[in-house]
Amino acid sequence: MELHEITIRPLGAMGTALRGDTIFGQYCWQVAYDSSLVQDGLEINVSRYHEKPFVVFSSGFPRFEPQPGTTTYAMIRPDLPLSWIFPCHGKDQASSVRERKKNKARKWMLVGADLALKASKMEYIDDGALLKRFLKQTPGSTEESDAAHVLASFSQPHNTINRSTGTTGSGEFAPYSQNVGSYHPGLTIAIFALIDTEVTDIGNVQTGLTRMGQFGFGKDASIGLGRFSVEATRPLSFPEVRGSTAVYCMAPSVPAGASYREAYFLPFVRFGKHGDSLACSGNPFKNPVIMADEGAVFVPKEEAALRRPYWGKAVTNVSLSQPETIVQGYSICLPIGIDAGGET
């Protein structure tokens, strides 16, 4: 399988977070309408997805170019005990509490283009520092900005419109609001794709994502949310395993129960819903799926798993409307070095 980076540029607000399992679901709709995107079409590849995935997507991560020819990714901090990542020695209790609070806010991990991870050796920063990094590399910008985050969440007001009359109706006013996320203007996002080259290639994956960006990703695409452009793609090499003892997951995943000795993750419940034409069916909702959110760390039972480019399993039996529906319970994984003593 080949690993590729796909760089996208958000063109507006997002109603749905760029998580790997959701990107996979919407890509499958692209394949459903254009079977040329994969060999043998969607149905056959879905039927064998639990044995071998044809494509696995990561979640979207902010990317930077501090210097020409260099790339840095801002990934979610591994869900490890803070003391393993930020060793605290010789401090009084009050200082330790203040330091711990500060460290908890450092939710971003800066990763180089080699994708090498050593938990206690990485640079961790908070939202404000991440924004400053971006503004510093952006021509014509200053470090002063009204925004406090690279990804800001806000409430967008709307009003209910009668589609027949194009108005709210005589004497009626039905406002409502919804939460949306907006990336800082000019920011680019990296989505990693693990591709089975016997089934498809980066060109087809890029075509699918380009169409997704044109029509809108996630919910409320019909009112303009979720637009993005695909800027570039490039192949990547898998990082070396030497010195690693665990795997770091780049998207929500569902691990096989007997595959790991230790697990560190934040539980995430996916309340899925069908998209496209099935969104208007009698039962568009999928069964909830409990997943380990991106940033999860697993210590596998077998050392060979450290050399495997993905982790987890496919999830089936999630839909009554379309029984063959699957959920990407896989995640692209990177080997990571950890130690309970805080040293790697």
Kindly tell me if the per-residue pLDDT of 245 is higher than 70: yes
Residue 189 lies in a domain: yes
In a domain, 243, yes or no: yes
Instruction: Please state the length of the chain.
Output: 344
36: exposed, middle or buried (Cβ count in 10 Å: 0-12, 13-18, 19+): exposed
Please choose, from the candidates 315, 330, 308, 314, the residue with its C-alpha nearest in 3D space to the C-alpha of residue 246: 308
CA–CA separation, 327 and 10 (whole Å): 25
Tell me which residue has tokens 């997951």. 249
Asked whether residue 275 carries a pLDDT value surpassing 80, the answer given is: no
Residue 25 falls inside a structural domain: yes
- Half-sphere exposure for 60 (CA within 13 Å, toward CB): 25
**Residue 342 pLDDT class (50, 70, 90 cuts):** very low
Is residue 36 assigned to a domain?
yes
Number of compact structural domains in the chain: 1
Instruction: Name residue 292's amino acid.
Output: A
Which residue in this structure is represented by tokens 């805080």? Answer: 342
Nearest-CA neighbor of 248 among 265, 235, 223? 265
Q: What is the mean pLDDT of the chain?
A: 86
Q: 294-319, pLDDT tens digit by residue?
A: 999 999 998 888 899 999 999 988 88
Give the CA angle between residues 178, 181, 186 to the nearest 5°.
Answer: 145
Q: Is residue 344 part of a domain?
A: no
**CA distance linking residue 163 with residue 168, whole number of Å:** 9
Please tell me what DSSP assigns to residue 208.
H
Residue 166: which region, alpha, beta or left (left: phi > 0; alpha: psi -120 to 50)?
left
pLDDT at residue 146 tops 70: no
Question: H/E element holding 333?
Answer: strand 330-337
Strands 330-337 vs 310-312: parallel, antiparallel or unpaired: antiparallel
**Per-residue confidence at 344, pLDDT binned at 50, 70, 90?**
very low
Question: Is residue 343 domain-resident?
Answer: no
Q: What pLDDT digit, counting tens, does each position of 173-219 carry? A: 677 677 777 888 888 999 999 999 999 999 999 999 999 999 989 88
Q: What is the pTM of this model?
A: 0.88
Domain-located, residue 299 = yes
| 205 compared with 275, residue with greater pLDDT | 205
| Structural domain containing residue 260 | 2-140+147-337
Residue at 342 is within a domain: no
What pLDDT is stored for residue 252 in this prediction? 94
